[in-house]
A and B are shown apart, each in its own frame.
Chain A
Amino acid sequence: MLRHIVRRLFHLIPMLLGITMISFLIIQLSPGDFLAEIRLNPIVSQQTVDQMRRNFGLDQPLHIQYLRWLWNAIRLDFGYSFAFQVPVIWLIGSRLMNSVILNLLAFVIAWAIAVPLGIYTAQRQYSLADNSLSFTGYVGISTPTFFSGLFLLFLAFKTGWFPIGGMTSIDYEFLPWWGRMLDVAHHLFLPVLVVGVFGFAGLMRQMRASLLEVLRQDYVRTARAKGLAERTVINKHAVRNALNPLITIFGFSLGGLLSGSAILENVMGWPGIGKLIVDATIQKDLYVVMASLVIGSLTLIGGNLVADVLLALSDPRIRYD
């Protein structure tokens, strides 16, 4: 097992090279750069622009730029943000937690509701409860988060129950520590609701399908035939095995803790990584886009690795090396 993990980690090296190279290429291909806008500013002299160009290394050929970036990135120096005038790593660091908080809460809530409901609906296939919950699930996975976000913002304004976007109120700085927590929680409610419902819908469908598959198996029939209580059959025999595919999904969703809410963050003005990358793409803030792409991919890969390991731990049929 350990050997497998180590081997997987070694596999990561060419993959990371590929990811960074492709990211770099995409960003270089996009027309115009941040300095082009500065150059239009009459206050800034040509000399200053040239100086900036040299400082950022933009006058170097492409491969040199890439290698330079890579060498710095290994030492966790992701360059400098043109737009914010701070190191990218600071910027990412300050936004990282916001995204993780939002996604983690949504993740916990989605799992806590989806798994029991999935089990419940699988036991009552095609009943009224199953059909209506399944349909809710369909609508849930089919509603773009930017639409549900806008809709909830509209409701928030009409009712006045929730703040309209953002993460803190204007008077945040003047609040005591518990007031600040409450304030952020108040702002968190709607984003968590949107991301949570989206995750819940997919998860419930998976749980239901997986349990239905297991309930068709012979050993479930055997368990029933030997007179076990239905509750024992479901909880002890069926659900435990039906959870297997969900363990993989668990790993994948860990990978999405950073990027899962990207679209919604922009609609709700939640200052996370997703909002950062959209703003940076518009402003052509090269190194910020680059770092967000790479860090987003890293978490996804990490999630996949976790999924693999968890699956191997839980399923004795899967053996590596």
Chain B
Amino acid sequence: MARALAATLERARRVQAAEQVRTPAQLAWRQLRRHRMALAGGAVLVVLYFMAIFAEFLAPYTLDYADRERFFHPPILPKFVDARGISLRPFVHSTTLTDPGLRQYTQDPSRRYYVRFFVRGEPYRLFGLVPMSAHFLGVDEPGRIFFFGTDQSGRDQFSRILYGSRVSLTIGLLASAITIPLGLLYGGVSGYYAGRVDNILMRFSEIIIAFPEFYLLLTLSAVLPTSVGCTTRFYLITLILSFLGWAGFSRIIRGIVLSLKQQEYVLAAKAAGLDDLHVIARHILPQTSSFVIVVATLGIPSAILGESALSFFGFGVREPCSSWGNLLTAASNLPTLILSPWLLFPGVFIILAVVAFNLFGDGLRDALDPRHRTG
């Protein structure tokens, strides 16, 4: 009897020990793995970022490649069947413009152009450095492969979406990289010193929050010089997005810091003679880390939406550069859109990326919050 009891106790102790060995990160990962929607979101993000990194190689055409004979061309998808029968290798037919007014193209079924991998095409520089001309897939001239059709100058929309994903997907990361440290410092200082400092700092951030987001975004981007290059403009837009984002975030950090600084360990750190900046940066702010990770993840989609809205109205990233929002501008002309509905495809990518970020961010929040853990 006593032995059995001892064995049970021993087993319980071991189970407990095994539980304790898990680090917070392991616990979070264990929880995240159960959240299937969040994992799906994460997987979509991995694919999207992979596509953005290797955009030049994956795109059948380059950013500026324009086939002026085939403007507003409907999507050309690989086929397996035509009048001559079934082919196991996917192929396309070449097309010619027959009615410029209604943008009608007719296919020439006399010859098949097979889809080939690692074809030689337009020269480009991989990552902007390595000169290459091999594309992941393509077809021989004069065949064309336009997965998502072309725009008014005959530029391949699929390629431009891939190039544009670089802008749309990095702008959120960059904006977060500015917003988070700034908000941490601002909110940290405000909450730690409280009193008058807090009052002044918070009044200022309240003013930023008081503006309707889109109004402020719009008027600020109207200030940007129009003559600068694409890259400069991209960074300036990022700055504006961060300028809007930090205020709300710093207020929440301030609230957390206000309550944290009453804790004994902070008093101990102060009593040990640490200077204020060290206490804030080394002892208080790390406590907010799980919150910060979640805010960063959920802040990225709102930056993506902000950029795409700005670019859509022509205040953000401009031609000849591409971003998902900027590509959608072509669809804003209704007569054009009605004849060429494939111009809406860039929007599908915006939704895909934003949904994926939101799903992943929510999963992360549940995983990092001990109260939401299930078993």
A residues less than 8 Å from B214 (CB atoms):
259, 262-263, 274
**How far is B328's CA from A153's CA once the two chains are assembled, in angstroms?**
14
Interface residues of B in 196-254 (CB under 8 A from A): 203-204, 206-207, 210-212, 214-216, 218-220, 222-223, 225-226
A157-192: CB near B (< 8 Å → 1, else 0) gives 110000011000000000000000000000000000
Please tell me if the beta carbons of A15 and B344 are within 8 angstroms of each other in the complex. no
Please tell me if the beta carbons of B334 and A165 are within 8 angstroms of each other in the complex. yes
Q: How far is the CB of B144 from chain A (nearest CB, A)?
A: 25
Q: Pick the contact of A22 from B207, B226, B312, B351 — CB < 8 Å?
A: B207
**How far is B347's CA from A292's CA once the two chains are assembled, in angstroms?**
29
Given A143-B351, A274-B214, A293-B216, A157 contacting B338 (CB threshold 8 A): yes
Please tell me if the beta carbons of A147 and B207 are within 8 angstroms of each other in the complex. no
Given A138-B355, A157-B338, A281-B218, A259 contacting B212 (CB threshold 8 A): yes
Please tell me if the beta carbons of A141 and B332 are within 8 angstroms of each other in the complex. no
Chain A CB within 8 A of B171 CB: no
Q: How far is the CB of A282 from chain B (nearest CB, A)?
A: 8
A residues less than 8 Å from B218 (CB atoms):
277-278, 281
A residues less than 8 Å from B215 (CB atoms):
259, 262, 277, 292-293, 296-297
Chain B CB within 8 A of A34 CB: no
**Which size class do B's interface residues fall under?**
35 or more
Please tell me if the beta carbons of B37 and A157 are within 8 angstroms of each other in the complex. no
Q: Pick the contact of B312 from A141, A146, A154, A296 — CB < 8 Å?
A: A146
B residues less than 8 Å from A259 (CB atoms):
212, 214-215
Interface residues of A in 277-306 (CB under 8 A from B): 277-278, 281, 289, 292-293, 296-297, 300-301
A residues less than 8 Å from B216 (CB atoms):
26, 293
A residues less than 8 Å from B211 (CB atoms):
19, 22, 293, 296-297, 300
Please, which residue of chain A has its CB at the minimum distance from the CB of B211? A297
**How far is B323's CA from A143's CA once the two chains are assembled, in angstroms?**
16
**How far is B315's CA from A29's CA once the two chains are assembled, in angstroms?**
16
Interface residues of B in 319-357 (CB under 8 A from A): 325, 328, 331-332, 334, 337-338, 341, 344, 347, 350-351, 354-355
**How far is B218's CA from A259's CA once the two chains are assembled, in angstroms?**
13
Chain A CB within 8 A of B299 CB: no
**How far is B206's CA from A139's CA once the two chains are assembled, in angstroms?**
30
Given A142-B351, A157-B338, A281-B218, A18 contacting B204 (CB threshold 8 A): yes
Given A31-B226, A263-B309, A289-B219, A150 contacting B355 (CB threshold 8 A): no
Given A15-B206, A263-B214, A150 contacting B219 (CB threshold 8 A): no
Q: How far is the CB of B31 from chain A (nearest CB, A)?
A: 15
**How far is B308's CA from A146's CA once the two chains are assembled, in angstroms?**
9
**How far is B215's CA from A153's CA once the two chains are assembled, in angstroms?**
24
Q: Pick the contact of A18 from B203, B225, B332 — CB < 8 Å?
A: B203
Please tell me if the beta carbons of B222 and A135 are within 8 angstroms of each other in the complex. no
Q: Pick the contact of B313 from A31, A158, A266 — CB < 8 Å?
A: A266
Chain B CB within 8 A of A47 CB: no
Interface residues of A in 246-278 (CB under 8 A from B): 256, 258-259, 262-263, 266-267, 274, 277-278
**How far is B238's CA from A295's CA once the two chains are assembled, in angstroms?**
26
**How far is B332's CA from A164's CA once the two chains are assembled, in angstroms?**
12
Please, which residue of chain B has its CB at the minimum distance from the CB of A293? B215
Q: Pick the contact of B355 from A142, A256, A289 — CB < 8 Å?
A: A142
**How far is B90's CA from A226's CA once the two chains are assembled, in angstroms?**
68
B residues less than 8 Å from A297 (CB atoms):
210-212, 215
Given A26-B219, A138-B355, A266-B313, A144 contacting B347 (CB threshold 8 A): yes
A residues less than 8 Å from B308 (CB atoms):
144, 146
**How far is B347's CA from A266's CA once the two chains are assembled, in angstroms?**
17
Please tell me if the beta carbons of B351 and A147 are within 8 angstroms of each other in the complex. yes
B residues less than 8 Å from A320 (CB atoms):
none
Please tell me if the beta carbons of A150 and B347 are within 8 angstroms of each other in the complex. yes
Chain A CB within 8 A of B301 CB: yes
Please tell me if the beta carbons of B223 and A30 are within 8 angstroms of each other in the complex. yes
Please tell me if the beta carbons of B309 and A144 are within 8 angstroms of each other in the complex. yes
B residues less than 8 Å from A141 (CB atoms):
358
B residues less than 8 Å from A258 (CB atoms):
212
Beyond A146-B332, A258-B212, 17 additional contacts (C-beta under 8 Å) are A18-B203, A19-B210, A22-B207, A23-B219, A26-B216, A26-B223, A141-B358, A142-B301, A142-B355, A147-B350, A153-B337, A154-B334, A154-B337, A154-B344, A297-B212, A300-B211, A301-B210
User: A interface vs B, CB < 8 Å?
Assistant: 14-15, 18-19, 22-23, 26-27, 29-31, 131, 135, 138-139, 141-144, 146-147, 150-151, 153-154, 157-158, 164-165, 256, 258-259, 262-263, 266-267, 274, 277-278, 281, 289, 292-293, 296-297, 300-301
15 A-B pairs within 8 Å (CB atoms) are namely: A15-B203, A15-B206, A26-B220, A27-B219, A138-B359, A141-B358, A142-B305, A147-B351, A154-B337, A157-B338, A262-B215, A263-B214, A267-B332, A292-B215, A297-B212
